């Protein structure tokens, strides 16, 4: 890259300013990175899935300051390999079964590259008409694939927008609902608005309510139970709303979930929307994980009732082969959103906006600047087509079913909840453990019949199992606790995962379980 002249004057030495976007140098370095990433995918199974580094590892390896002189890409890529890769948790590994996987794909990657290459800032129509228009088109395509009611599509007076994440979608819809309610009851009542969720609702919703200035004493958490598979009970929702109204408060927003993070529980959308309708509230349906699955006719019934909701979102970056970040949000009444989020400074005034014939997406989201996210979704839809996308999703569900079968066939394990999608929650069964050994292993300071103690010990055994598996690096799973029960979560969905990985994962789990159970049987 040539050596730099050490001339500090204001006048830069133009000889040394080869352009930072020189097309031929772009080509050379771009091809190099493609090979780097292709090789990474090819060899990804050799890395421990969960990074095994210690906190602070990277500061010890990198210089204290930015370099003064340029460094060649070859050196930098060596450092990526030597210093960054060991600190990655390999979300694209076929042995990744943690949280919910983030399913990349070639088409998703290419779409992101194109968007990055064009690097347009599509805040309004005029700033790049293709960005706004393609977004509206793919959101209608996708809405149709999901058989969303026409009222959610542009063609039916609603509309869709690509947000970064679910938390943003929740925040934007909540702000729209908040302002709608305040315009009825008066701004001075901001401290009296009430929002509702279940104890299984994603924490992102609580965060959204904090940001939107909802008094946290008015954040109602409706209790779910094992008997209804942890779905939000509409009756309890209704009675809570009634008490709030009696107390002079204003019920404003319900967040219903289709596919909760802990166990993929599905809230009954129809009855929830009916309750909300009775009290003039906004219902948002968070289908972050499982929404994509509803493009398969077999799974569409899970969002039956969505026609009563005000807004619906899912993350295409989660289980729809579109790299991070890409949250699809549809609304029946975008004008409520626009009312809360629009600003019209002089420097953005233009004929197209004034004509009201165009969508200016800056008024549909938090930020002004926005990436051309529609490209990656368009590339995914076109490269794979509806049928293949359905088949890919179904293959993940099938693999989860296979795993569930393996667990069920081994009496040392149990699944605690019915599986809805591609997540299996399971644990070492209490029946696999000798109660006397439990006490020995804990120091036996409880009575033998102390059920709490047993319960906690069983959780400990399962916790140990998870830690031991993850420390091995062979596969990566995470956990949840519902109803006091510690569960291992096995989430199928990483794009590279194939059936053989499921069997291998089960072998790893059994091996670690056997080692741990030695002390308890």
Size of the site for its own copies (CB under 8 A): 172
Q: At its nearest, how many Å lie between its own copies and the CB of residue 208?
A: 8
Would you tell me how many other CB atoms lie within 10 Å of the CB of residue 42? 9
Closest CA to 512 of 475, 481, 480, 486: 475
d(CA 392, CA 374): 21
DSSP labels, 162-191: EES-HHHHHHHHHHHHHHHHHHHH-GGGGG
Out of 45, 151, 190, 415, the residue judged to bind its own copies by CB under 8 A:
190
DSSP 8-state secondary structure symbol assigned to residue 63: -
Of residues 151, 229, 274, 395, which one binds its own copies by CB under 8 A? 395
Least distance to its own copies from the beta carbon of 436, Å? 30
| Candidate ranges 138-146, 226-234, 272-280, 441-449; the one touching its own copies (CB under 8 A) | 138-146
Is residue 416 within the footprint of its own copies (CB under 8 A)? Answer: no
432 vs 505, beta carbon nearer its own copies: 505
Residue 175 CB, nearest approach to its own copies (Å): 5
At what angle are helices 334-341 and 166-185 packed, to 10 degrees? 90
Per-position x/- string for 148-187, each x denoting binding to its own copies as judged by CB under 8 A, each - no binding: ----------------xxxxx--x---x--xx-------x
Residue 112: closest CA among 310, 322, 386, 345: 322
Min CB(19)–its own copies separation in Å: 6
Cβ at position 394, least distance to its own copies in Å: 5
Interaction between residue 56 and its own copies (CB under 8 A): yes
- Taking residue 411's Cβ as centre, other Cβ atoms within 10 Å add up to 9
| Residue with the two structure tokens 């088949």 | 391
Considering only 183, 210, 225, 440, the residue that binds its own copies (CB under 8 A) is 210
144 binds its own copies (CB under 8 A): yes
- Residues 323-382 touching its own copies, rule: CB under 8 A, are 323-325, 340-341, 343-348, 352, 355, 357-358, 366-371, 375, 379, 381-382
Of 279, 331, 274, 269, residue with least CA distance to 303:
269
User: Rounded to an integer, what distance in angstroms lies between the CA atom of residue 410 and that of residue 506?
Assistant: 11
Q: Which stretch binds its own copies (CB under 8 A): 103-111, 245-253, 275-283, 452-460?
A: 103-111
Q: Which of residues 278-317 bind its own copies (CB under 8 A)?
A: 297-298, 315, 317
**Toward its own copies, which CB reaches closer, 6 or 409?**
6
Report the candidate in 218, 215, 315 with the shortest Cα–Cα distance to residue 258: 315
In the set 74, 227, 248, 387, which binds its own copies (CB under 8 A)? Answer: 387
For residue 325, is the peptide bond before it cis, meaning its omega torsion is within 30 degrees of 0?
yes
Q: How far is the CB of 446 from its own copies (least distance, A)?
A: 24
Question: Which of residues 8 and 411 has its CB atom nearest to its own copies in the complex?
Answer: 8
| Smallest separation (angstroms) from its own copies to the CB of 494 | 9
- As measured in angstroms, the least distance from the Cβ of 132 to its own copies is 9
Comparing CB distances to its own copies, the nearer of 275 and 321 is 321
Binder among 30, 280, 405, 418 for its own copies (CB under 8 A): 30
Among 95, 198, 231, 262, binds its own copies (CB under 8 A): 262
Q: Which of residues 424-483 bind its own copies (CB under 8 A)?
A: 478-481
Residue of 47, 48, 95, 105 interacting with its own copies (CB under 8 A): 105
Footprint (CB under 8 A) of its own copies, residues 228-247: none
Burial of 389-408, coded b for 16+ CB within 10 Å and e otherwise, reads bbebbeebbebbeebbebbe
Stretch that binds its own copies, among 242-250, 274-282, 392-400, 510-518 (CB under 8 A): 392-400
Comparing CA positions, the residue from 397, 478, 427, 400 lying closest to residue 98 is: 478
Q: According to CB under 8 A, which one of 47, 48, 49, 92 is a site residue for its own copies? A: 92
Q: Order of strands across the sheet with 485-491?
A: 413-415, 423-428, 485-491, 478-482
Three-state DSSP at 286 gives strand
DSSP 8-state symbol, 42:
H
Residues in the chain: 521
Buried b (16+ CB within 10 A) or exposed e, 322-353: bbbbbbbbbbbbbebbbebbeeeeeeeeeeeb
Distance CA 244, CA 254 (A): 14
Residue 298 or 304: which CB sits closer to its own copies?
A: 298
> Does the footprint of its own copies cover residue 504 (CB under 8 A)?
no
């Amino acid at each position: 890259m040539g050596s730099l002249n050490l001339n500090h004057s204001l006048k830069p030495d133009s000889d040394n300013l080869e352009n930072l976007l020189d097309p031929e140098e772009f080509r050379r370095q771009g091809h190099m990175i493609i090979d780097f990433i292709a090789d990474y995918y090819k060899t990804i199974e050799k890395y421990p899935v969960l990074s095994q580094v210690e906190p602070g590892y990277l500061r010890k390896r990198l210089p204290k300051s930015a370099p003064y002189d340029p460094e060649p890409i070859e050196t930098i890529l060596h450092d990526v390999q030597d210093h960054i890769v060991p600190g990655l948790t390999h979300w694209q590994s076929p042995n990744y079964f943690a949280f919910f996987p983030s399913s990349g794909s070639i088409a998703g990657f290419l779409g992101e590259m194109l968007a990055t290459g064009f690097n347009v800032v599509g805040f309004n129509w005029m700033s790049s008409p293709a960005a706004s228009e393609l977004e509206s088109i793919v959101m209608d395509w996708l809405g149709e694939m999901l058989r969303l009611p026409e009222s959610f599509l542009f063609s039916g007076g609603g509309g869709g927008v690509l947000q970064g994440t679910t938390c943003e979608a929740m925040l934007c819809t909540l702000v729209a609902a908040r302002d709608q309610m305040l315009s009825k009851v008066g701004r001075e009542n901001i401290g009296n608005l009430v929002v509702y969720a279940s104890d299984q609702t994603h924490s992102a919703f609580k965060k959204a309510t904090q940001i939107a200035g909802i008094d946290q004493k008015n954040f109602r958490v409706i209790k779910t139970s094992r008997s209804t598979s942890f779905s939000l009970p509409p009756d309890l929702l209704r009675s809570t709303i009634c008490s709030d109204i009696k107390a002079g408060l204003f019920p404003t927003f319900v967040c219903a979930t289709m596919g909760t993070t802990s166990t993929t529980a599905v809230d009954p959308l129809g009855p929830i929307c009916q309750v909300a309708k009775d009290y003039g509230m906004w219902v948002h349906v968070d289908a972050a994980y499982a929404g994509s699955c509803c493009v398969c006719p077999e799974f569409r019934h899970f969002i039956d009732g969505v026609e009563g909701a005000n807004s619906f979102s899912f993350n295409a970056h989660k289980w729809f082969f579109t790299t991070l970040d890409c949250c699809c949000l549809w609304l029946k009444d975008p004008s409520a959103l626009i009312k809360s989020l629009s600003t019209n400074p002089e420097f953005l005034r233009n004929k197209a906006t004034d004509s009201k014939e165009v969508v200016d997406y800056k008024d549909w989201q938090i930020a002004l600047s926005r990436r051309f996210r529609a490209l990656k979704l368009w590339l995914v839809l076109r490269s794979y087509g509806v049928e293949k996308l359905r088949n890919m999703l179904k293959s993940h569900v099938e693999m989860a079913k296979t795993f569930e079968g393996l667990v069920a066939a081994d009496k040392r394990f149990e699944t605690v909840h019915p599986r809805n999608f591609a997540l299996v929650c399971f644990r070492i069964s209490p029946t696999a453990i000798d109660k006397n050994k439990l006490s020995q292993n804990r120091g036996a300071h409880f009575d033998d019949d102390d059920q709490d103690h047993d319960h906690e010990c069983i959780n400990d055994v399962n916790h140990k199992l998870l830690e031991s598996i993850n420390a091995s690096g062979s596969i990566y799973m995470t956990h949840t606790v519902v109803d006091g029960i510690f569960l291992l979560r096995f989430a199928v969905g990483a794009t590279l995962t194939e059936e053989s990985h499921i069997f291998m994962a089960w072998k790893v789990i059994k091996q670690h379980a056997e080692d741990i159970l030695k002390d308890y049987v």
